[in-house]
Chains A and B, each alone.
Chain A
Amino acid sequence: MATLRDIRNRIKGVQSTQKITKAMKMVAAAKLRRAQDSIINARPFTRKLKEMLKHLVTDHDRESNPFLNERDVKKVLVVVVSAERGLCGAFNTNIIKEASSLYAALIKDGKEPSLYCVGKKGYDFFRKRNYNMTGFKTGVFNGLKYDTALQLSKLFIEGYLSGQFDQIVVVYNEFKSVVSQKVVRETYLPVPVIEASQKGIHEEVDYIYEPGQKAIFERLLSIDLRAQVWRILLESNASEFGSRMTAMENATNNARDLIKALKLKYNKERQAAITKEILEIVSGANALKG
């Protein structure tokens, strides 16, 4: 049976763990707010860009633009966006599960999948299990920069244009709200069909295009490809903090319950010990009297 001292030590241990989880929760909450702001700041750009692309797209682009043109898919690049660190609930597990099931499904279909890991957790997992990996990038989420998105998108686009991959799919956590994140698969390249807007203003207005409609469309599309990587990184980043905050909140609550239970047990033991002592004294005194 646990002695009083043992219980006391355990209470102390749980209390210090609780302090840590509480602090981690606070940090995650603060960082989450900043990550959310970044997402909100990025939204107007994506919206306007999509609008302009819809106005500009022509049937000719759909056939001739290499980013829009679908090829026979053989080599597929799966980009896995995970976190740098653990202790964020099921965040990494969900991503890894989704990515490996996609990988297995692609092999079953006779495709040649390879992985590109963003974030240390996913990289560690897949490296140890000898998955076919074309590259990885870690340390991305310690101070997220737009430059990172530029580098990554450049890498993907070059790989796609050179024929190294026929299709690029990104698996990442989408930020729904603080308490809910959803793992999504998204085709990055080829770009999913852009519907031309119905009788947009661009047909009524006689624009001057400099240097030409096609060049502008291509420029916007390449900006869009970069901005998409940026958005995905932001979403994943915010999801990670949301997930960590929830996980740490749960841990803190569990620690509180545990401390409560331990304190109850401790007090029971203490009272039992006192009662026992009194009994011994009383019976000793009685024995002397008798």
Chain B
Amino acid sequence: MKNLDLEIITPSKPVYHGEILSITIPGTDGSFQVLRNHAPLMSNFEVGSIKITEANNNQVLFATSGGTVEVLHNKILILADSLERADEINLTRAEESAKRAQERLAKKGRGEVDVSRAEAALNRALNRLRIAKGL
């Protein structure tokens, strides 16, 4: 076997399991790529996109809201709160949540909104939109 074994699991369901050539992850200390024979690694990652190249050179893009990855003996395990394939993102839902978050932020002068939470929600929604549109 000359590929990497990738498993992506979220609390809602296992998202992906298959053989890949490479994966790019938005790590906390900067984005990095994992290829075959990578050193054992555990890392957190933040809101952003995860890009994988499958064994047949097919590229797949995922949107994530952050999680943890473990790399060991050419096996990669990703645990995340949420992770969606770019082609499975619900555009209308993402747009709605972006709008909701923006409305909440607009009210922040009145001091009744949790600003950091609204910002995080906006960030997640924009990330999903960006990835779904392939930008």
A interface residues with partner B (beta carbon < 8 Å): 38, 41-42, 44-46, 48-49, 52, 56, 146, 149-150, 154, 201, 205-211, 213, 215-216, 219-220, 223, 226-227, 230-231
Contacts and interface: CB of A to CB of B under 8 A. Distances in A.
Given A146-B11, A227-B11, A208 B40 contact: yes
Contact of B43 (A38, A56, A209): A209
Interface stretch (B51-59, B77-85, B105-113, B125-133): B77-85
B90 interface: no
A211 B68 contact: no
B28 A211 contact: yes
Contact of B81 (A42, A52, A150): A150
Contact of B29 (A210, A223, A226): A210
A214 to B, nearest CB: 11
Contacts of A226: 11, 81
**Main DSSP-derived SS at the B contact region:** strand
**Main DSSP-derived SS at the A contact region:** helix
Q: How large is the interface on B (under 10, 10 to 19, 20 to 34, 35 or more residues)?
A: 20 to 34
A44 B14 contact: yes
Nearest to A213: B42
B12 A210 contact: no
Given A42-B12, A52-B70, A227-B11, A216 B79 contact: no
Interface in B61-103: 67-68, 70, 72, 77, 79-82
Given A210-B41, A210-B43, A211-B28, A219 B11 contact: no
Interface in B25-41: 27-29, 39-41
A46 B10 CA distance: 9
Contacts of A44: 9, 14
A149 B81 CA distance: 11
Contact of B72 (A42, A45, A201, A209): A201
A236 to B, nearest CB: 15
A49 B9 CA distance: 10
B7 to A, nearest CB: 8
B44 A45 contact: no
22 contacts: A41-B12, A41-B13, A41-B14, A42-B13, A44-B14, A45-B10, A48-B9, A52-B70, A146-B11, A150-B81, A154-B117, A205-B72, A206-B40, A207-B42, A208-B43, A209-B43, A210-B44, A211-B44, A215-B28, A219-B67, A223-B80, A226-B11
